[in-house]
Amino acid sequence: MEIKAFSVEEWMNAYETSAVYNIAETCVDSLTLEELVTLDGTNPDEFFRSLYDVKLTYGHIEGSPEFRQLVAANLYSSIEPHNVLVTNGGIGANFLVFYSLVQPGDHVISVHPTYQQIYEVPKSFGATVDLLPLRPENNFLPDLDELKSLVKSNTKCICINNPNNPSGAVMERDMLERIVEIARSCGAYVLCDEVYRNLLQADDADVPSIVDLYEKGISTSSVSKALSLAGLRLGWIAAPQEVIAECMKHRDYTTISCGMLDDILAVHALKNYDKILQRNRTIVRDNLAILDDWVNKEPDFSYVKPRAGTTALLKVDVPVPSVTFCTGLLANTGAFLTPGACFDMEGYVRIGYACSSPVLREGLEKVSEYVRKLK
């Protein structure tokens, strides 16, 4: 099966481990095992001792009842635990939805720029994919007249990513409801990649899940970003029952279960969802203030200030392509950014600003130094 290389993943695989100041990472500063376990005052020795007797079977195939119940209760308002299916990360959730629903001849629409998987995988399964551009002059939000003009009678799925990686734009209730109306007009599913959901800058932003808005809404998510637990490799699909059934039928061929220990630790995290979210909102808000100060002082950088998530696209005025800029920056200073070319956004770099504040400050200083040297 033909598929293009996944540019951002190739970039991270090649360089991430040599970064001294990793300001390309998209997770909110990851938790250690000890930080996770002790969040609610649990004694770590007792916690880990309680695992000694766990028999390492496949465990619950579709995710433990507790995991599915906590996901349904913490993140959604209208679904039941049986509407949640555990997967290997958010990436596994997206893949499984496309593997289960998309057939040759289908039409799929995806926002762009976004996580490349969301438009490349349906294409690889034989769909015709139209991209709906997210432009800086529209604050990286979609033009819904343009979306209307793209839908067809065979549109199987409209794919969105809310909040958006890489721009940090977020669509609120009103816009989501209008997207649902357009999808309903042609009977299309809406897949919304919601791995950054709830990482909001403003307390009053109203950003419901697509699964709570639309009878054919499919939410994909994970514990990687908003819960700082990428090492657990646990994600899920939250969707109507017929979609879950189709995904389960297909998942039997790729995944038996997703690992008992990961499930146990994710359950502990989901029990403390509010605590982790509060920690992480503080990190993204404090760090965006640092980034905003820096952008305002740097004449060669500008941006649409993100309203959610962990990333921003910085427009950069340097005399070299974005890949050359980022490889040079890393080699000369140890600071690590992602080139806009990974998102077909030449002239930009993507920053992940949810690392620890000292790393962000030092990384930005290195970027300033390097740009001055280049000029």
Q: What is the DSSP string of 117-139?
A: HHHHHHHHTT-EEEEEE--GGGT
Residue found under tokens 């099966």: 1
x/- letters, 85..104, toward ligand PLP (CB under 6 A): ----xxx-------------
Residues numbered 272 to 311 that lie near ligand PLP (CB under 6 A) are none
- Applying CB under 6 A, among 195, 226, 264, 342 the residue interacting with ligand PLP is 195
Stretch that binds ligand PLP, among 50-58, 84-92, 125-133, 361-369 (CB under 6 A): 84-92
Q: What is the distance between the alpha carbons of residues 332 and 316, in angstroms, rounded to a whole number?
A: 18
Q: What is the distance between the alpha carbons of residues 363 and 358, in angstroms, rounded to a whole number?
A: 8
- Which C-beta is closer to ligand PLP: that of 22 or that of 333? 22
Interaction of residue 352 with ligand PLP, rule CB under 6 A: no
The size of the interface with ligand PLP (CB under 6 A), counted in residues, is: 13
Interaction of residue 338 with ligand PLP, rule CB under 6 A: no
Q: What is the distance between the alpha carbons of residues 359 and 20, in angstroms, rounded to a whole number?
A: 9
Rounded least distance, CB 308 to ligand PLP, Å: 12
**Rg for the chain (alpha carbons), in Å?**
20
- Applying CB under 6 A, among 165, 201, 209, 287 the residue interacting with ligand PLP is 165
Of the candidates 297, 307, 300, 309, the one whose C-alpha atom is nearest the C-alpha of residue 349 is 300
Nearest-10 Cα torsion for 223, 228, 229, 230: 90
x/- letters, 97..136, toward ligand PLP (CB under 6 A): ------------------x---------------------
347: phi then psi, degrees, rounded to nearest 5 = 90, 0
Q: What is the distance between the alpha carbons of residues 328 and 316, in angstroms, rounded to a whole number?
A: 14
- Which C-beta is closer to ligand PLP: that of 161 or that of 228? 161
Rounded least distance, CB 167 to ligand PLP, Å: 11
- Applying CB under 6 A, among 224, 280, 322, 333 the residue interacting with ligand PLP is 224
Characterize the bridge pairing of strands 155-161 and 348-352. Answer: unpaired
- Give the interface with ligand PLP as residue ranges (CB under 6 A): 26, 89-91, 115, 161, 165, 193, 195, 222, 224, 230, 235
